[in-house]
Chain A
Amino acid sequence: MLRVRQFLPLFLVLLVSSAAYAAALTLTSSSVDQLGGGQGNVNKYYVRVLSASITVDSNDFNNQITGGSVTVASTVPGTYVVTITVTTSAGTRTFTTTTTLSTTPATITFTISPLSYTDPGVTISVRADPA
């Protein structure tokens, strides 16, 4: 019983100080602690690709795609890893770059190793992930 009485003030001090610190963390805005305190919004982004074009090595029917350009924007400004995938029935080529995107469209020019531009056409996919 004597031991409990001896340590009780220590427990109380620890309790009060820890609770005060936890409360201070909880009150910090835009922060999330492990008790769920604090609140903040997580941005959600949409990628907007407003144009896509290809460059070819010739005007012959059996021509090849050597690159192109895309115009890209994101609703949440930031640095993104942009992956451009060019696909025809002859194969797939990928181009990756890291760039800053904002709501103002940015033009990204890309080059790829030659890829036959076959019918029925080409698909250009543009993906942006936060860097």
Chain B
Amino acid sequence: MRRLAALLLIFSISVTFISLIAAYSVYMPVAAVDPLAVKPEMSYSLGKNNVPLYDQNEVRSVALSVSGTTVTGATVEFYKRTGGAYRVRTTVTLLDGNGNTISTGTACSNYGGTGTRTATITSFTPPVSIDSVYRVNVVIQRVNAC
């Protein structure tokens, strides 16, 4: 009887201790937890060429078009500094978090004079989700033929 009472006492103290920890510990509402970053960053690379008298054009902006989350196109504005009429190929490359190319879109047109010009890319191959894209590279290049 005495041993049983001692065991019961130890058990009671133990359970009470654990219960007190649980009861009076600070608990944390999940609503107060910051959202977890899966992809907190994206970067854009805008190209600038330096081939004197041939191609010194530079990209000024790029805007992706999305349908839902799928990237469907891009609009690129570049400054055509080198005069004359010639063809310019615009390439937009979408890369994943490891730096691998996951999709590409191109456009090629003839442009004359100097000034801000626009290239419109109407499709990317293969279609990818914007949430898979970590980096966007935009390159323009003077070419002899499209």
Chain A residues packing against B (C-beta within 8 Å): 1, 4-5, 7-8, 11-12, 14-15, 18-19, 21-22, 25-26, 28, 30-35, 38, 40-54, 56, 59, 61, 68, 71, 75-76, 78, 117-130
Q: Shortest distance in angstroms between B5's beta carbon and chain A's nearest beta carbon?
A: 5
Contacts of A128 in B (CB 8 A): 40-41
Chain B residues packing against A (C-beta within 8 Å): 2, 5-6, 8-9, 12-13, 15-16, 19-23, 25-31, 33-50, 56, 58-64, 66, 77, 79, 81, 114, 130-131, 136
Q: Is the pair B41, A32 in contact by a Cβ cutoff of 8 Å?
A: no
Contacts of A78 in B (CB 8 A): 35
Contacts of A26 in B (CB 8 A): 22
- The CA-CA distance from A1 to B4 in the complex, in Å, is 11
- The CA-CA distance from A8 to B22 in the complex, in Å, is 21
Q: A45-B39, A124-B46 are in contact. List 11 more A-B contacts (CB 8 A).
A: A4-B6, A7-B9, A18-B22, A25-B22, A44-B37, A45-B35, A47-B42, A50-B130, A51-B64, A124-B44, A127-B40
**Interface of B (DSSP majority class):** mixed
Evaluate whether A48 and B46 lie within 8 angstroms (CB atoms) in the complex, with A8-B9, A18-B20, A35-B22 already known: no
Evaluate whether A34 and B38 lie within 8 angstroms (CB atoms) in the complex, with A1-B5, A5-B5, A122-B45 already known: no
**Interface of A (DSSP majority class):** mixed
Partner of A118, one of B42, B48, B60: B48
Q: Which residue of B is nearest A14, CB measured?
A: B16
Contacts of A43 in B (CB 8 A): 35-36
Q: Shortest distance in angstroms between A52's beta carbon and chain B's nearest beta carbon?
A: 4
Evaluate whether A34 and B27 lie within 8 angstroms (CB atoms) in the complex, with A1-B5, A45-B35, A47-B41 already known: yes
Partner of A51, one of B21, B35, B49, B63: B63
Q: Is the pair B62, A52 in contact by a Cβ cutoff of 8 Å?
A: yes
